[in-house]
Structure 1
């Protein structure tokens, strides 16, 4: 019996030893094969190569058995994947607005948590079709915690702020059937919508960005990823933050690289900086700076990453299909042709401009499909451009950066030939009026809280100086926060349209805005033609009495002809004289301007009682569009042009860059 036991134990030990040797040999062989194929792209690479199944992917479970857990990174989205998700409307710029509570160094995990939170808000049908790597990524990120902010009490101790008192209007927002159902009426209707589609069957959103994955790496105990120059350029455009990269040749021999924040804090107080490390790589970091009360966000929708890239490159997107995004090139020649009233038609073309070359190098979920405008005899060929302008407030198009010709074109079309006057001040007054209707909702940010009345007063004074023509160095974050309040205003007014469901009201407001933009363009052309006629008469007039009488009679006839042409304006206000610098910079109230202005139009809205009808809300949308042209920074592409400079990382030699 003992001999049999010894034989059995020997056989078992022999088989165990052979199994262990086979496993070790297989692991070493797989490891060697993986090193030999290190140059082969991953099956989740964003490069345009067909995927393949490597030995590493087939034996992933075996490798995990031998690989230490601390050195094994999970699949995480690349920076290109996050940008492409923004192109498809997965999130708006409000994602970056939500990071204002994390002051100082902004870890990559914080950005991942915010992105994962946006993914969790997507419909269940879409989330169920995500790849398994995305599902694991969502499970590994932290859920946002809802907690009330603390404030300092009278004795210097932190305490919870008191709950605001609700009035009858606030109770009406809860709906009449609150006792029967927990569902409440919406307080905002989102204006963050996708571009019009040219095809009926759209590609699922996740298929356009979910393949942008890579294994996470760990630096100093934090999650990190590899980034490229194109990704950093796109992120710089989206955040409105200038890049500051320290190069090795810029450092002295005895100077140690240090992480420094870039000079520009951008649209959200986030700066992008980079510095070389001791191992020859580059560390890219984000820094969240403290923002003033006037720069804190509202609750409305933000702008889209797609519009941020296209507008900064000088293109106006207007439609999309399964694979491309159609966009119109706007130049100074385009603006001059529009001013003359010449009909234009779209022509597919690939212009060789610095903006077009830059846009094609950025991470895009869909390939840009460029168009140009050329004169055409047809009278119905200009509306595509006008409709693209009218759609900007409803498709996340109020981005912080745009080229100067595009800004001037939108201003010319949307203003209808009228000067701005005190437009920004009147819109702020309308924001305050809507806020006072239901203050407990806190829709417009911390600036309109009662405790910040002094800051609000100084903000209104600053806008008054801008209307008076004063030169004020205004930060981009102030402009973006102001447009965020105006977007929230539009969403709130649309939601309050009486006798209509919110989505039906949104569709009606979009259509009414489109019609108002068409009429405003006719008025703008008439006003510009009148201005040219007046200038020509003033240069050709003589000092004789007969010629003076003839000149005055001709001017009166021109005014009457202009009144007839612009009688179709939606606001029934006719520009009787051309815009002058004095009317643009006059410090007087809007009601005392020598001619009507856009500020007087908003004053009429202020006199109306809430809620507003569809036509009035469409007028507010057009005024918000004009206000955007005074709250956006211009991008400079030419050497002799002033404005925001697009980062150029092509000749810096940056290859290995890591963000953590």
Structure 2
């Protein structure tokens, strides 16, 4: 009997204690619950020891925006620095900027840029999206709601709030249920999967320790409150963010100064840029500047193909004269390419890598730009025993597979890549012959439309004009070409490589990609030895983006020029087994030596599709040389002729984009 009383008393006491705990919990919840009018806050403190300075900048922005009137605040959005850092992590490539453009020319709003960025984030693996901050999750939800059509039915006021709580709970469940091993695998995968039509080249930089690792993703903590200006979402823009946008878009920024007070009043970009998007800044009445993106009408020859695009990480590094080598969880190891580097390579000296600081103007510029991982610079020094030149050759080969065909690169870097990849031979009609190879691959499956609208039958006359222009470029009678044409041409060449690899029979696309990547390393080592031998005996002088044309080519009369071009176009070329002879397959004129890179492509054109792996490796090396003929050189030192990047110190302090 006593035992029953004891059990009953313990049960009653447990129920009483549980009731007290429930009452206390409800009391604390009712007092700690924030009001609906209270804005959401986020911890602006970055956990990244490398990115302390940008985090402080973002925090200062947030404090300033928090003190603004409540009507000027909308919601948390990524800063422009955060978006640029996301590009460093292969969240998106330059293809994002192609998607965001209008069908008709006009100004691109910041909201459209955010929508395109949110679309890229939604295409990431589920495991990766589960690790994003709650502010990024709400950002994705808000942009997704804008894209939906408005609902005709009215919902009770309590429904949206309950759905938000359910969404937060589901996100927390996903985030807590992710296994660490699954997280690493999900982050290392690329967004764009291989398809039967194309084998994607964009595979990212190798990790320095030789294995995979988790992606450094502190970009999602670079946040700020969006302002509302004249009914539009607006964010402040720093000088370094605008300079980075200029490099990524391949669009120069012209600054007009007031002659009286030497202050920047307004400037506008008169160029289309690499992707048909131009930057402009207009002074407002309150002394600030409106930064706008404008979509320009592009010619058919300037529209991209369906293959991979260039990497925004490489766009910043190569323009600064920095060749990315490998990465780890915190830094990007890179090699500074200087004229001294090229001089050592030409004579075949033994070189070893040694750490260095930001010793060049380009390196100093790169170090101040928004970077997800801080650049860790190295340079070459002469060695008596060890030789690390092969690491440079492998990094050059990786440009093909890591989105390295950017619109800008420093002049010494272009010269170095061309010296290594050309094997001591002049290009000749390399670009014309590669265009013929693109047309050959297009005729194999024209219904896929992989190479852009220029290859459509209705645009045959445009291809003929492009061939004439390339012929004049080859002999030096024409030296200028729009940057948008160059970038679109490299897009077709990248798609060509992806198509050739996808056509290889009886081998998995991933195995073909690995074989081509490894084979290109050996191909470049042989090519470098040939280039050194050719330089030593003085058999060739390579043309460079900054070198002037020979007096013979520059003094050609218009009559002689027309005769040469007409002779080249009317001559019979190498017949292709897949169709009629392309107008780009003319016989090499006497302007070029018997052995040149264009003749090597002619040998490839004699074969049929599909090609073997070794032939694809050879084509990849020739495409690498074609990039050096299509990229715009950036001039950093005195006496160099090329594109001059904007100086962030000369930009206004108050700039906004909406």
Report the TM-score when normalising by structure 1.
0.74
Aligned partners of 1:617, 1:625: CA distance in 2, in Å?
Answer: 12
Aligned with residue 447 of structure 1, among 454, 466, 484 = 454
Aligned partners of 1:145, 1:432: CA distance in 2, in Å?
Answer: 38
Aligned with residue 142 of structure 2, among 140, 146, 154 = 140
Matched, 1:87 2:88: yes
Aligned with residue 223 of structure 2, among 213, 217, 228 = 213
Pair 359,252 (structure 1): closer, same or farther in 2 beyond 3 Å: closer
How much has 1:275 moved relative to structure 2?
Answer: 1.9
Which residue in 2 is equivalent to 1:483?
A: 490
Instruction: Give the 5 Å matches for 1:452-463.
Output: 452-463=459-470
Which residue in 2 is equivalent to 1:656?
A: 654
How much has 1:377 moved relative to structure 2?
Answer: 2.5
Moved more, 322-331 or 579-588: 579-588
Aligned partners of 1:239, 1:486: CA distance in 2, in Å?
Answer: 20
How much has 1:657 moved relative to structure 2?
Answer: 1.2
Instruction: Give the 5 Å matches for 1:613-628.
Output: 613-628=612-627
Aligned with residue 118 of structure 2, among 116, 119, 137 = 116
Aligned partners of 2:146, 2:524: CA distance in 1, in Å?
Answer: 41
Aligned partners of 2:621, 2:262: CA distance in 1, in Å?
Answer: 54
Aligned partners of 1:230, 1:132: CA distance in 2, in Å?
Answer: 27
Aligned with residue 208 of structure 2, among 170, 186, 198 = 198
Matched, 1:225 2:227: no
SS of equivalent to 1:209: helix
Pair 401,498 (structure 1): closer, same or farther in 2 beyond 3 Å: same
SS of equivalent to 1:608: coil
Which residue in 1 is equivalent to 2:176?
A: none
How much has 1:430 moved relative to structure 2?
Answer: 0.5
- Which structure 1 residue ranges, 5 or more long, are not aligned? 1-21, 58-62, 147-182, 536-578
Instruction: Give the 5 Å matches for 1:15-26.
Output: none
Aligned partners of 1:439, 1:310: CA distance in 2, in Å?
Answer: 36
State whether residues 425 and 596 of structure 2, in contact with CA within 8 Å, keep that contact through their aligned partners in structure 1: yes
How much has 1:201 moved relative to structure 2?
Answer: 7.3
Matched, 1:310 2:317: yes
Instruction: Give the 5 Å matches for 1:158-557.
Output: 186-199=196-209, 204-205=214-215, 207-245=217-255, 261-378=268-385, 380-531=387-538
Pair 504,643 (structure 1): closer, same or farther in 2 beyond 3 Å: same
How much has 1:378 moved relative to structure 2?
Answer: 3.3
SS of equivalent to 1:352: coil
Aligned partners of 2:620, 2:507: CA distance in 1, in Å?
Answer: 18
Which residue in 2 is equivalent to 1:546?
A: none
State whether residues 201 and 403 of structure 2, in contact with CA within 8 Å, keep that contact through their aligned partners in structure 1: yes
State whether residues 343 and 380 of structure 1, in contact with CA within 8 Å, keep that contact through their aligned partners in structure 2: yes
Aligned partners of 1:195, 1:41: CA distance in 2, in Å?
Answer: 31
* CA displacement, residues 559-614 of structure 1 (integer Å, 9 cap, x when unaligned): xxxxxxxxxxxxxxxxxxxx999899986533865421101111111111111111
Pair 419,252 (structure 1): closer, same or farther in 2 beyond 3 Å: closer
Matched, 1:106 2:113: no
Which residue in 1 is equivalent to 2:181?
A: none
Moved more, 114-123 or 401-410: 114-123
Moved more, 394-403 or 370-379: 370-379
How much has 1:50 moved relative to structure 2?
Answer: 8.5
Moved more, 275-284 or 83-92: 275-284
State whether residues 216 and 373 of structure 2, in contact with CA within 8 Å, keep that contact through their aligned partners in structure 1: no
Pair 184,580 (structure 1): closer, same or farther in 2 beyond 3 Å: closer
* CA displacement, residues 471-519 of structure 1 (integer Å, 9 cap, x when unaligned): 2421110000000100111111111122210111000000111110000
How much has 1:143 moved relative to structure 2?
Answer: 8.8
Aligned partners of 1:510, 1:355: CA distance in 2, in Å?
Answer: 29
State whether residues 130 and 206 of structure 1, in contact with CA within 8 Å, keep that contact through their aligned partners in structure 2: no
Which residue in 2 is equivalent to 1:640?
A: 639
* CA displacement, residues 424-443 of structure 1 (integer Å, 9 cap, x when unaligned): 00100010011111111111
Pair 78,248 (structure 1): closer, same or farther in 2 beyond 3 Å: farther
Aligned partners of 1:83, 1:334: CA distance in 2, in Å?
Answer: 30
Aligned partners of 1:512, 1:201: CA distance in 2, in Å?
Answer: 20
State whether residues 74 and 226 of structure 2, in contact with CA within 8 Å, keep that contact through their aligned partners in structure 1: yes
How much has 1:184 moved relative to structure 2?
Answer: 10
Please report the RMSD computed on the Cα atoms of aligned residues, expressed in angstroms.
3.5
State whether residues 268 and 280 of structure 2, in contact with CA within 8 Å, keep that contact through their aligned partners in structure 1: yes
* CA displacement, residues 294-319 of structure 1 (integer Å, 9 cap, x when unaligned): 00111111111111111111111111
State whether residues 476 and 553 of structure 2, in contact with CA within 8 Å, keep that contact through their aligned partners in structure 1: no
* CA displacement, residues 198-233 of structure 1 (integer Å, 9 cap, x when unaligned): 237766437231111111111221111111101111
Aligned partners of 1:264, 1:184: CA distance in 2, in Å?
Answer: 35
Aligned partners of 2:255, 2:95: CA distance in 1, in Å?
Answer: 26
Report the TM-score when normalising by structure 2.
0.75
